[in-house]
């Protein structure tokens, strides 16, 4: 079977937005809760509080995103909900009124598409919430509700709020706020398929699927793919699976997953023993213990052999998300760790994803701290923004960084070098994650050219040996560079 994935994703640089925290509209809008008691934007976020970000605010920031080089946005959930993160869905057909409702979303979608920016939404299809109409009907009407079989009811009475009593229904991860759907019920299955089709026809460019591994009904995700791709063959379907995802990446289900298998070793290599274990323990990925270059090379080559190449090119690669601490906080505030990891992110096959605020140096420990309000311009770290822009520009400029092959050239101690090759376009990426300068010489095979011009970073380099087949390097500590043709 020939695997087909959406071509645009291979050339995308994603930006992940948590809508309550990215931007609050500056334009006067006729809208709900104009003077609501939002939490202070710049104070530490809380688990329950809202800061009042909205989709009009995102529209006002599209020029900023375009200038950064972003051409795709992934939104965490935007549908009506009674939680700031909106994973507790009330109504899958209504964008939350606090965000501006369906009209604001339509305006945003049109404005993004005018700039050739794609928009991917978060689909929470494993569970709903206590406020979801069909579950609410069960709470009101008990065993007489026509929607009983939509959920996994285990007994009576139901106790949706009082933890002293058994809930008597299955909630996601034992959480009674999140009643799990019964996906074996054909009505539930059809309901979810219709939601997926509705928003694709509305104009979105794909779905990011929340905890899709929880849905074990045979054929569910195959049908989901068929229905979504029938509505838009170029729609992107990406699953939130943190580990080995081969069972979902066979070409009949998802186009990619959130690639934590890239994030974990990349952080372990670049941040090393700086990693704050409290920020990563008990998470579903392992950016520790520290890795040296040979182990990093081994893990990356193993990862690149996991999935078909068409799928590798549409993986969603990331260093942080709303479910993790931010990398600068994981790395104990060490800025070179973040820059080195970002260099690896922007030069790896698959679509890189920047978590809002990371590009201006926003810190944040585990949730809720990792979901802070986007900082004022006076608090941006300009150097961090500059290297993000530089690396994103290079990714857009050189096709080999997007779809070229990935060849490890050298991996020893703290020094790692690889090439990205597409036809006659060849780039070499070199990192020294160590705290001392690195002087190495290694044989380079498989390249037609001798890249010697610095596109990013700096070092001392010389092509030596017979036929100039050896690259001699002197690279400063905690730094990286990209070499292209002069």
- Homologous superfamily in CATH for domain 7-126+181-397: Glycosidases (3.20.20.80)
C-alpha closest to that of 358 among 323, 389, 328: 328
C-alpha closest to that of 374 among 9, 4, 51, 49: 51
Report how far apart, in Å, the C-alpha atoms of 100 and of each of 49, 119, 175, 196, 232 are: 18, 17, 29, 21, 26
Q: Where are the domains of the chain?
A: 7-126+181-397, 404-484
Each residue of 318-364: pLDDT tens digit? 999 999 999 999 999 999 999 999 999 999 999 999 999 999 999 99
Looking at the structure, give the CATH architecture of the domain made up of residues 404-484: Sandwich (2.60)
Q: Known catalytic residues?
A: 210, 240
pLDDT in tens, the chain (486 residues): 799 999 999 999 999 999 999 999 988 775 656 667 899 999 999 999 999 999 999 999 999 999 999 999 999 999 999 999 999 999 999 999 999 999 999 999 999 999 999 999 999 999 999 999 999 999 999 999 999 999 999 999 999 999 999 999 999 999 999 999 999 999 999 999 999 999 999 999 999 999 999 999 999 999 999 999 999 999 999 999 999 999 999 999 999 999 999 999 999 999 999 999 999 998 999 999 999 999 999 999 999 999 999 999 999 999 999 999 999 999 999 999 999 999 999 999 999 999 999 999 999 999 999 999 999 999 999 999 999 999 999 999 999 999 999 999 999 999 999 999 999 999 999 999 999 999 999 999 999 999 999 999 999 999 999 889 999 999 999 999 999 997
Residues 6+ apart with CB under 8 A from 294: 411, 412
Residue 305 has a CB neighbour count (10 Å cut-off) of 8
Query: pTM value?
Result: 0.97
Each residue of 398-422: pLDDT tens digit? 999 999 999 999 999 999 999 999 9
CB contact at 8 A, 394 and 346:
yes
């Amino acid at each position: 079977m020939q695997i087909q994935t959406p071509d645009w994703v291979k050339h995308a640089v994603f930006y992940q937005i948590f809508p309550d925290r990215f931007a609050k509209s500056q334009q006067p809008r006729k809208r709900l809760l104009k003077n609501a008691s939002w939490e202070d934007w710049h104070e530490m976020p809380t688990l329950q509080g809202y800061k009042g970000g909205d989709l009009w605010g995102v529209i006002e920031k599209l020029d900023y995103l375009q200038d950064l080089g972003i051409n795709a946005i992934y939104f965490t959930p935007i549908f009506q909900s009674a939680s700031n993160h909106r994973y507790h869905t009330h109504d899958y057909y209504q964008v939350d009124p606090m965000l501006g409702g369906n009209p604001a979303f339509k305006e945003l979608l049109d404005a993004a598409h005018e700039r050739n920016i794609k928009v991917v939404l978060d689909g929470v299809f494993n569970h709903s919430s206590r406020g979801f109409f069909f579950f609410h009907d069960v709470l009101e009407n008990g065993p007489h509700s026509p929607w009983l079989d939509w959920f996994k009811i285990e007994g009576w009475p139901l106790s949706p709020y009082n933890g002293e009593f058994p809930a008597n229904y299955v909630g996601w991860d034992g959480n009674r706020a999140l009643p799990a759907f019964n996906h074996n019920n054909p009505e539930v299955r059809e309901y979810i398929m219709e939601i997926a089709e509705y928003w694709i026809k509305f104009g979105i460019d794909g779905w990011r699927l929340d905890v899709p591994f929880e849905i074990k009904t045979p054929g569910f995700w195959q049908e989901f793919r068929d229905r979504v791709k029938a509505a838009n063959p170029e729609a992107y379907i990406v699953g939130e699976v943190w580990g080995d995802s081969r069972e979902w990446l066979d070409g009949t289900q998802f186009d990619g997953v959130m690639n934590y298998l890239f994030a974990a070793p990349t952080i372990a290599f670049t941040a090393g023993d700086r990693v704050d274990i409290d920020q990563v323990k008990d998470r579903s990925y392992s950016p520790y213990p520290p890795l040296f270059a040979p182990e990093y090379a081994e893990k990356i080559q193993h990862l690149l052999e996991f999935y078909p190449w068409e799928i590798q090119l549409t993986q969603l690669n990331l260093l942080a998300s709303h479910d993790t601490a931010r990398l600068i906080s994981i790395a104990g505030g060490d800025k070179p760790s973040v820059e080195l990891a970002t260099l690896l992110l922007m030069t790896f096959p698959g679509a890189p994803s920047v978590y809002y605020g990371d590009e201006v140096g926003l810190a944040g420990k585990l949730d809720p701290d990792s979901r802070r309000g986007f900082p004022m311009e006076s608090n941006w770290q300009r150097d961090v923004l500059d290297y993000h822009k530089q690396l994103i520009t290079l990714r857009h400029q050189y096709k080999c960084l997007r779809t070229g092959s990935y060849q490890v050239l050298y991996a020893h101690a703290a020094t790692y070098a690889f090439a990205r090759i597409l036809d006659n376009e060849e780039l070499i990426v070199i990192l020294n994650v160590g705290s001392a300068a690195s002087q190495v010489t290694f044989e380079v095979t498989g390249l037609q050219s001798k890249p010697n011009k610095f596109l990013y970073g700096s070092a001392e380099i010389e092509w030596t040996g017979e036929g100039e087949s050896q690259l001699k390097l002197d690279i400063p500590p905690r730094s990286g560079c990209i070499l292209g043709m002069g």
